[in-house]
């Protein structure tokens, strides 16, 4: 297994290549990319796992900000999902609260405190006690320009002796006896010992060529379509991804350094693309040019690793753009692969990857535990959405008590019990009477007034901070 060839040169392909080269520097790593295939660029947003990737492969986060035209992200702001807007961020309001975080959150929820008392990152401000070195950023999550990131990762691959080949792959040669892939066929044949399928929604290799089946989760998720478009640069950058509930789904708004990424994710059983376009033009108050449209079937491959091929990113799974799982799952899938590849532990790796997906899916589905019923879409979500068995087991526990840190354990998982708390609190899902009764048996914790800003370091506006970084560099 000395020659590993990656099919697809999007962000998933280049991230995979860089992680493989870091892990197995003596192996020959190659990427075949096509100029005819553009990047999906669904959300232009990352989870904190992109920082883990940067640390692992040796990218300082200052360069990530400059090269990928990034802005900071503290979490996701949910507008109109419930009676009170809420934020998914897992920062306690005060860094010096010397208590267990779950206990603090328990008191906030049981006391029915406003959502802003659970996190401190509501304003578009950056604290000035950062950048003592190139990796000392105020956040580990970022918004970024998808194409700019792709170009930067491609440059790094070249610098690190990863072979880049431009071609359009049309087929693969298969050994009739073993079923293993021998070569990728484009303008010529490209032989390799092992193949990484990063062909995105095309799913050229593991799904289409090798026949591994797609497992649909559409019965558990209400959305299946999206439109994406750009608008002008924000006057002030959001320091969070803004997710706004709409009539038939939700829309996103994400700041980068020279434009704003937007999109609308919806269910095509209620509206079509033209109607979604019209709804967005009504919301924004001006004409909008749609850059991308796509439909998706939420789900995953039954096996990510089959024969001598491994599917990563969109070729392996997709849920929907909510919570920016796409790039984070690439990173986690590659960590799972790196840990199991030397021992050829195929079944273990597949179990890990399926666990990563289920971990993401349950968390995303929990966002739809809504009380809204003002449109036919939200009424169906409220009354008819089928909950996954694994999420239902967890929710049944939390109907009786507050979440514990050990309730969700997943190797290479992206979300844990602490992530659910602000979402369920924001959706008014918790039974406050149950939690108040439970709180009476716990150690008392003082709920500090959120407006006591004397404990915070000085701040500067998000956009001013980013522009200052660019100017000083």
pLDDT, tens digit (0-9, with 9 covering 90-100), for 286-344: 999 999 999 999 999 999 999 999 999 999 999 999 999 999 999 999 999 999 999 99
Rounded mean pLDDT, 451-460: 72
Quote the DSSP letter at residue 247: T
**Whole-number Å distance between alpha carbons of 427 and 438:** 20
pLDDT, tens digit (0-9, with 9 covering 90-100), for 95-113: 455 567 898 899 899 999 9
pLDDT, tens digit (0-9, with 9 covering 90-100), for 196-227: 999 999 999 999 999 999 999 999 999 999 99
Instruction: Name the pLDDT band for 121 (thresholds 50, 70, 90).
Output: confident
Rounded mean pLDDT, 110-120: 88
pLDDT, tens digit (0-9, with 9 covering 90-100), for 11-23: 999 999 999 999 9
Beta carbons of 14 and 156 less than 8 angstroms apart: yes
Mean pLDDT across the chain:
93
Does 147 or 444 have the greater pLDDT score?
147
Instruction: Name the pLDDT band for 452 (thresholds 50, 70, 90).
Output: low
For 379-408, letters b (16+ CB in 10 Å) and e give: eebeeeeebbeebeebbeebeeebbeeebb
Which pLDDT belongs to residue 444?
Answer: 79
pLDDT, tens digit (0-9, with 9 covering 90-100), for 227-281: 999 999 999 999 999 999 999 999 999 999 999 999 999 999 999 999 999 999 9
Rounded mean pLDDT, 67-71: 96
For residue 230, the cross-strand partners are 261
Domains of the chain: 3-71+143-216+298-361 (3.50.50.60), 73-141+220-291+369-439 (3.50.50.60)
Rounded mean pLDDT, 164-178: 97
Instruction: Name the pLDDT band for 93 (thresholds 50, 70, 90).
Output: low
Closest CA to 156 of 39, 73, 46, 56: 56
Position 41 pLDDT exceeds 70:
no
Quickly tell me which residue has 């401000």 as its tokens: 125
Which pLDDT belongs to residue 386?
Answer: 97
* Cα-based distances in Å from 392 to 189, 209, 380, 395: 49, 36, 18, 5
**Whole-number Å distance between alpha carbons of 114 and 422:** 11
Position 421 pLDDT exceeds 70:
yes
Which pLDDT belongs to residue 454?
Answer: 58
Which pLDDT belongs to residue 209?
Answer: 98
Closest CA to 257 of 128, 135, 146: 146
Which pLDDT belongs to residue 434?
Answer: 97
How far is C-alpha 345 from the geometric centre of its chain's CA atoms?
Answer: 26
Which pLDDT belongs to residue 455?
Answer: 64
**Whole-number Å distance between alpha carbons of 377 and 367:** 15
Instruction: Name the pLDDT band for 447 (thresholds 50, 70, 90).
Output: confident
């Amino acid at each position: 297994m000395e020659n590993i060839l990656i099919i697809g040169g999007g962000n998933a392909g280049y991230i995979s290549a860089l992680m493989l080269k870091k892990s197995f520097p003596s192996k020959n790593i190659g990427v075949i990319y096509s100029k005819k295939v553009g990047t999906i660029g669904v959300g232009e947003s990352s989870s904190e796992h992109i920082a883990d990737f940067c640390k692992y492969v040796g990218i300082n986060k200052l360069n990530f900000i400059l090269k990928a035209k990034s802005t900071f992200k503290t979490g996701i702001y949910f507008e109109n999902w419930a009676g009170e807007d809420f934020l998914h961020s897992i920062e306690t309001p005060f860094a010096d609260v010397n208590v267990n975080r779950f206990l603090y959150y328990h008191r906030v929820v049981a006391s029915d405190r406003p959502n802003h008392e659970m996190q401190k990152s509501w304003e578009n401000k950056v604290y000035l006690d950062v950048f003592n070195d190139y990796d000392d950023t105020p956040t580990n999550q970022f918004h970024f320009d998808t194409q700019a990131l792709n170009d930067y990762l491609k440059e790094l691959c070249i610098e690190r002796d990863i072979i880049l080949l431009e071609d359009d792959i049309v087929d693969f040669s298969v050994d009739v006896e073993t079923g293993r892939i021998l070569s990728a066929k484009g303008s010529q044949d490209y032989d390799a010992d092992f193949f990484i399928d990063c062909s995105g929604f095309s799913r050229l290799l593991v799904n289409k060529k090798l026949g591994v089946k797609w497992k649909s989760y559409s019965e558990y998720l209400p959305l299946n379509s999206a439109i994406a478009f750009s608008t002008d640069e924000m006057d002030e950058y959001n320091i969070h991804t803004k997710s706004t509930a709409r009539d038939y789904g939700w829309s996103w708004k994400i700041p980068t350094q020279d434009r704003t990424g937007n999109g609308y994710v919806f269910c095509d059983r209620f509206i079509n693309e033209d109607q979604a376009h019209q709804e967005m033009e009504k919301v924004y108050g001006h004409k909008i040019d749609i850059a991308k449209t796509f439909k998706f079937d939420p789900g995953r491959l039954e096996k990510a690793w089959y024969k001598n091929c491994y599917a990563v990113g969109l070729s392996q799974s997709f849920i929907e753009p909510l919570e920016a799982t796409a790039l984070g799952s690439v990173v986690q899938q590659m960590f799972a692969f790196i840990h199991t590849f030397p021992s050829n532990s195929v079944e273990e790796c597949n179990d890990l990857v399926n666990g990563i997906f289920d971990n993401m899916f349950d968390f995303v589905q929990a966002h739809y535990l809504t009380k809204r019923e003002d449109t036919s879409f939200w009424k169906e979500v409220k009354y008819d959405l089928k909950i996954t068995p694994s999420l239902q087991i967890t929710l049944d526990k939390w109907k009786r008590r507050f979440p514990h840190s050990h309730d969700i354990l997943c190797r290479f998982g992206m979300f844990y019990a602490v992530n659910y708390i602000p979402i369920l609190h924001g959706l008014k899902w918790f039974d406050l009477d149950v939690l108040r009764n439970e709180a009476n048996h716990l150690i008392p914790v003082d709920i500090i007034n959120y407006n006591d800003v004397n404990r915070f370091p000085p701040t500067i506006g998000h956009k001013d901070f980013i522009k200052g970084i660019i100017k000083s560099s």
